[in-house]
Structure 1
Amino acid sequence: MVIVYIVILLHSSFKTASAQSPKKAKVFAYDMFDEGVHSSFLFNGSSSIDFPALQLTPDTYNEAFKLPRKSGRIMYKHPFRLWLSDDIENDVASFNTSFVINNYRMKEWPAGEGLAFLIAPDHIIPENSYGQWLGLTNETIDGDPTNHIVAIEFDSKSQEEFDPDGDHIGLNINSIKSKTTVPLNDSGFDLAPDMDANYSVWIDYNGKSKVLEVYMARYVLPSVEKPSKPLLKETINLKDHVKDKSYFGFAASTGDPDIQLNCILKWNLEVDDLRPRKDMKRLNIGIGVGVPAILVLALCGLKLGLVYLKKRKRASDEESILHGTLKRLPGIPREFKYRDLKKATNNFNESMKLGQGGFGVVYRGILHEKANDTSTGVAATVQVAVKKFSRDNVHGKDDFFAELTIIHRLRHKHLVRLLGWSHEKGKLLLVYEFMPNGSLEKHLYDSSNQNTLHWRHRYKILTGVASALHYLHNEFDQKVVHRDLKASNILLDSDYNARLGDFGLARVLDNDRNSYAELELGGVPGTMGYVAPECFHTGKATPESDVYGFGAVVLEVVSGRTPGVRVPYEQQNYSLVDWVWMLHREGRIQEAVDERLYDDYDVDEAKRLLLLGLACSHPTDSERPQTPAIYQIISGNSPTPCVPPFKPVFTWPSMVSTFSSSDTTFSSITLSSGAQGEN
């Protein structure tokens, strides 16, 4: 008898050469910065969040004596693993980031100094890092390899001994003396002009090829295309310079007298999820006399196979239960075959893509239905919009059910109609009525659309949205909060009638509740510029927060300006609602009307809508009009709201206060007997 011993050693000291393949994880995407996101960042030096932006240096305009000789850093609060701790060359994380910068100065201010995108071991800013040091280093530590920093500088002032000119970008490694610099004047970029100018920046790093690329373009709405060629391209192994766990963020400085405001308006970041496998316990298996090795291996394989089949069966059972639950929903529309929707969208081809949101991608589909008229035998061709959920895991199922269980029972002429659904092999799809005129956002901002959305259409659209919102809040058998009112979620049929869509964030309120909180989303649901201020404190959505979003849409439609972008006014940048409120205070609210309309609009209607938009944007939720009043006002059956000339101050907790009639600063919004005379 042959004695066989098998010893299998799985070492706990498994080296990271067997690390898992990096998985790209979207870390965050900030379209605006407000006090609600303050806890997501680490601040040092003269940095802050103000005017919905990351202010790397003081943001004052009028007290210039506070601006010279300042520096600041703002870093995302969580570090990222950028390389693994052994000597495997290729275990370096890739990352992609994009952001919008604004370096503003007044005409009498000499430009200086600039800002930098930064990878650093911490958020601590060195002492005396103002001026030429850009908040990165100082005279004592500049060039020290123990700094462990890599930065892309956007410098607006030339240091004669090492800078090519006043406007340039550079790759900095442990020093403000750039390894590589690229002048910007030849490309038509002025980093700190004496006027408002924003620039989009993309930085891509490939952890395998070790190539870093920097792209740049003028930030102009409605969208900014990433250039095809980078301004800067350099090979750098981050493993040689930064700590394995490092922070991402920004630094900036001002000089004396060279000063400017250094701001970050938007920031997106994706980083490879670079993690070693979990340590595996040492396993010693001894096989004794008379047991053939092949039998042991077969038994192990059989056991693993049974476990796999059991998991497959459990998943299949869960899918069957899920499918059965869907089919039993009262009033559920038609079930589509996945293969039919795949064919209708040309295998979900990019050319069929209509739009994309946080919950999935929407495609145009062309279905060839069976003939209704058997005498002709001609099949009908139907256009549909197919929403393919981007997450096919348990969270994706939650998103899918949240939308399906709400919208399948809603019936209103100004809501997008759900035609059906599909759930096969874990793929989650919803089929909606196709809207031939696309979204309201496209008609307001798409530069390829030569025809400005005229006034009749704008007024009709807002009337339809008000009607839909009134239905959700008051006429449906349960109160529904939409939670994501914005121009991209308002679709237009062939006659420019509004259809409110995208119920991915919508929730039904129980009869004994007046708000809905979903804290597991990890933040305030909705889109910056449309989110009510109280939501940043409560994390709850209410009918009143929907009204705030509607107010933002009203101001957007009338002015042709998006709520998420600052409006320059008297050498400052203001939010859309603050800008309209200032024009109202000065008796010039009509100037907020979209200039592209010229004089082709109804003045009284425009004033009515602008005042309604301000009323819905009241910082105190209890002071906002409710949807029945909104619909009556917008239909012309109720008087225009009387709005105070000064924007009331947001207070928390929310409370209704009474002020004397002489105190115009904090007077509450009421319904007057007629339009305000000064407007």
Structure 2
Amino acid sequence: MDSPRAFNLPFIFIFIFLSITTLNARTFMEEWGGPFDYSYYRFMQVFGSANIAKEALQVTHYSVGSSDIVKPYYNQSGRVLYNSSFKLWDLPSARVASFSTSFLINIFQLSGTTSHGEGLAFIISPDLNLPSGSSGGYLGLTNATTDGNATNQLIAVEFDTYKQDFDPDDNHVAIDINSVRSVNSSSLSDLGFQLVASNSTLYYHVWIDYDGIRKILRVYLTNDSQVPIKPRPADPILTYNLDISKLVAQRSYFGFSASTGTSIELNCVLRWNLTVEILPDGKGLGIGLMVALCVGGAILAALLIGSFILVCRRRRKRAAESGEARLAGTLKNLPGNPREFSFKDLKRATDDFNEKNKLGHGGFGVVYRGVLPEEERTEIAVKRFSRDDMKCKDDFLAELVIINQLRHKHLVRLYGWCHENGSLLLVYEYMPNGSLDKHIFSGPEEATLAWPIRYNVISGVAYALHYLHTEFDQKVVNRDLKASNILLDSEFNARLGDFGLARAIDNEKTSYTELNGVPGTMGYIAPECLHTGKASRESDIYGFGAVILEVVCGRRPWSSINGYHMLVDWVWSLYRDGRILDAVDERLGHDYVREEAERLLLLGLACSHSMADQRPKTNTIVQILIGSVPVPRVPAFRPAFVYPLSEPVQGGGGSEMMNDVSFSDSGYGYGYGLVGITSSTAHSDG
């Protein structure tokens, strides 16, 4: 490390492996080698147009679902951040943390385009956030309102590929402080580098070192057409004196941001290493003050401990009497420390759970829209469990424990929970466009959902399923995938929102069983579930097939059409007759892409195969939607479901559970809209 400082303090080493190679643990700047590892993705948070796919952090990424693959990339911004903050300076000790980071980037000009922009940046941010309106020249850093404000507490090292009026050229590295108007820059053209190659793929190895003693930031760069890393160059391409303690928040986040504007490119980070110094506790207090604090702290601690023990005893007694001991204990030890809301605050946010704020209801309770005025009027969705029996508490815990650990751009974000006076509530991110079914099955007087949105919604759900089935630590099965549980944000991006029936399973298992029935909604339940009582990843794929068909056809899965009592059977008959496009929602007219519609309908049939091991896996589904692989062969006649004499082997290994069979009601998708019926009314449509 090119630094005059002999570090005598411990460091935090974080290795994010994102390519087909990984880091040899000797130092962060030495050779890479080893297997690819997805497990680090759970430490990342993505925002805006960013995505984690194709073994890379795609800070601006390939969108799925349009025949013109270029158009969706315009005017986008995204961020990918490590989800834990670091203490970067300490007032009592007057210390500033040193850090080093190295990463491999690929900035790629898309085929069919003649220009490129806007650029990629390594950032230090005060929060996990992406400013709205940060596309174009703002590089996902600021926007027209906030640019230049000291309150941004933002530092970035930008790799700019588009010349704005204030830029030296369209190929430079620069340092930004609270603004996209750089404080220092270095032209890469003068150094023989070209960030974007129009005819070939170039990988750039970047090293950024910050010396907290000398307050110096250095940036190093080298490039190669091959992935194996080169040694760090001896000389930096950019050096700048910088005291980050006067600029950034004491606890800040590291990550990347990027944007596109009227010109576009793909901005990828293929691997990332971050080393951060652990700052010591403050040593600047006088001995007398320290002694006084210690004595006073001991007395206070004794009082607090005594009070705590007394309160805990009383609470344990009440919990034992009411059967809530297990619930309280679990809530206090949830992984990730989700926020605990007070009932008073949620009551105020929802206007005392006013009917006018009601978003949906079902077997578990009601979902309300709310606003947290003290937090810049943040909109929330509050899911209030109405039952007070232990089954309700189990459902509450199951949903909270699972979704609290999930992090994906196509999953609804959980803000926190509340458990007071016997009330159970979950607080979610509010989705302004409601649930998908309200748009797909809108009345004739309402505008129908356009084809590009439909395709992108299906793609978003596929990415979410792939994350749940293969990328998250525990394999998670949703168990109730349907249009009413798919929510749409302000830009009509899909967010999977119902985890009331979801369960996590051991990685060695393939399914989850409950003895009291089959979970889900009629028309979405795979035929094997009705016989085995087990939900699996394959049964989720079946539900996804039903969603595809209802989105493309604009009809419910249990619709009766031309003598067929299920939508899937009707579509299969059209496919057999060579008229599969007749199934497309007639409200679309000719405003859809025929190739995409045929692809989706065939994929919907493939996912609806009666035999679980014949359904495609999520990785194949994603590739089909991108158009990189064809849809699996679909037989002319729908295969009949055959229940084997022995327990069937689930093809793909990993699954989950089941509960009450249920029909969709007017649910908003945060786990409601479920009205229970007995499983004896269900029948296989195979």
Q: When the two structures are superposed, what TM-score results if normalisation uses the length of structure 1? A: 0.48
Query: Which protein, 1 or 2, shows the higher relative CO under an 8 Å CA cutoff with sep ≥ 6?
Result: 2
| Bigger Rg over Cα | 1
Q: When the two structures are superposed, what TM-score results if normalisation uses the length of structure 2? A: 0.47
